[in-house]
Amino acid sequence: MIVGGFDEVMRRNWNTGRIEMPSLSFDLTERHTIWSVSIGSLFYWIGNIAVNQLMMQRYLSLPDLKTSKRAVWWFLGGITLILLTCAYSGMLAFARYFDCDPLDSKLALAKDQILPLLVMDILGEWNGLVFVVERLGAVLQLTMSLSSASMGPLAGVFLMGIFFPFIDSTSALTGGVIGLSSAWWVAAQAQLAQARGALRFEEKPRFIHNCTYSISYFWYTAFGCIVTIIVACLVNIIPRDKKAKSSNELRLYAPFLRKWIAKKYQIKVSSTDVELNKR
């Protein structure tokens, strides 16, 4: 209502190139490409949904596998709604200040202040809401960067467990430590570069005529996961006494690997394993 309705919001964003398809570039340093928001996000959500301890506790609290799967679908629906709300909030803020950009007109001193400015314009009497939103932008970006770096090695260890039965605990631990250190180093360098002004991202044009170094953060999880798996595989081939053996529980491995693992390690297939392969 404050800018003329939904159609006007979409029109202003479309005409100025705010709504566009992700770039097809393979440049890992580009912030958002079709590859970073698909492949990079895939690793992020594997770490966030499949191996996160908080999520695992929630799954285990449910009565059966079917209910757990249903819970995941409800979770994905909620996340989708939140992301759409965030995206529309950004488009609404741009449409509201379409011809009087807050940064160039000094109404806001940083990008994090644009959304609080919009909230104050609309709900200025709700001081508590303004306080929360004012601190939300920087917190969300920092949180996602750090969590992405942390979840990569966790996802890597998990994937090793179901796809690489030959990797022992020492190799997995070594890969996890090096993967975590590498991902944190990349994330920290990116944050420092942004703070120093050495890392800047291309911006859309802004208007004031009516006024009074680093890879994309989407790749952090994938980077940490891949480093973890590669290091673990390399450490595993080093000749040494290996006390740990592969688990005889076939259900712990990926379904398409179970027959091969059972044959290679001479594991007796139980009726439960046969039933799991049918699912």
Q: How far is the C-alpha of 1 from the C-alpha of 7, rounded, in Å?
A: 10
Please report the DSSP string for 79-127 in residue order.
Answer: HHHHHHHHHHHHHHHHHHTTTS-TTTTTS-SSGGGHHHHHHHHHHTT-H
Q: What would the pLDDT profile of 98-132 be if each residue is shown by its tens digit?
A: 777 777 766 666 666 677 777 777 665 555 555 55
**For the chain, domain boundaries:** 6-245, 247-279
Q: How far is the C-alpha of 183 from the C-alpha of 224, rounded, in Å?
A: 5
CA 148 to chain centroid, in Å, comes to: 6
pTM value is 0.58
Contact 174, 232 (CB under 8 A): yes
pLDDT of residue 47: 80
Give the closest residue to 222 by CA, choosing from 79, 45, 72: 45
Other C-beta atoms closer than 10 Å to the C-beta of 257 total 15
Q: Which two tokens stand for residue 226?
A: 């891949």
Low-confidence ranges of the chain (pLDDT < 70): 1-2, 105-113, 122-146, 194-214, 241-248, 269-279
The owner of tokens 């703070």 is: 195
pLDDT of residue 256: 79
Q: How far is the C-alpha of 223 from the C-alpha of 92, rounded, in Å?
A: 34
CA 185 to chain centroid, in Å, comes to: 17
CB-based contacts of 174, cutoff 8 Å, min separation 6:
231, 232, 235
pLDDT of residue 44: 81
pLDDT of residue 205: 60
Q: Which two tokens stand for residue 270?
A: 């139980």
Q: How far is the C-alpha of 233 from the C-alpha of 163, rounded, in Å?
A: 12
